[in-house]
Amino acid sequence: MKKDISNITDINFLVDQFYEKALKDSIIGYIFTDVSTIDLKEHLPVICAFWASILLDQKGYKGNPMLKHIELNKKEALTETHFQRWLELWETTVNELFDGKIADKAIYQAKNIKALMLYKIKQSDKFNLGT
């Protein structure tokens, strides 16, 4: 039986497993490896802190993921297809590893993040076209 997400170790494991899938994915992998060229050693702790703040109410996350994705969108158009695949991989990973209230929250919040990211990116695109 799977357990629920309950601590930072669980979040670290979830994020590591997610990125293992995402980096190899035929739809979004290139965004991580070729477009953003993220340094996983630096990036993963930031992402883990982000999810810990959302799921476990932990302090420590500093960053602006919206701004990062708007900047990334300037390099490569981030589309509904990209975010849908991101969500599918996240949801699959959560469901493979965990079961419970916090796991459900991880999926729910990811759906909200997807919608908000797409909205903000579209708004940014409109603003940039008008200038």
Q: How many Cβ atoms are within 10 Å of 115's Cβ, its own excluded?
A: 12
State how far the Cα of 78 lies from the Cα of 39, in Å rounded to an integer.
Answer: 20
Measuring CA to CA, which residue among 59, 62, 83, 57 is closest to residue 5?
57
Specify if 55 maps to a domain: yes
Q: How many Cβ atoms are within 10 Å of 118's Cβ, its own excluded?
A: 17
Range of the domain at 45: 8-129
Range 102-114 average pLDDT:
98
pLDDT computed for residue 127 by the predictor: 67
Specify if 1 maps to a domain: no
Range 18-25 average pLDDT:
97
Report field, pTM of the whole predicted structure over 0.75: yes
Specify if 78 maps to a domain: yes
Specify if 3 maps to a domain: no
**pLDDT-derived band at 62, boundaries 50, 70, 90:** confident
Specify if 60 maps to a domain: yes
Instruction: Please determine, for residue 109, whether its predicted confidence score (pLDDT) is greater than 90.
Output: yes
| Weakest-pLDDT range from 9-23, 34-48, 106-120 | 34-48
pLDDT computed for residue 38 by the predictor: 78
CATH code, domain carrying 120: 1.10.490.10
Specify if 61 maps to a domain: yes
pLDDT computed for residue 40 by the predictor: 84
Instruction: Please determine, for residue 130, whether its predicted confidence score (pLDDT) is greater than 70.
Output: no
Specify if 29 maps to a domain: yes
Contacts of 5 (CB under 8 A, 6+ apart): 11, 14, 55, 56, 98, 100, 102, 103, 106
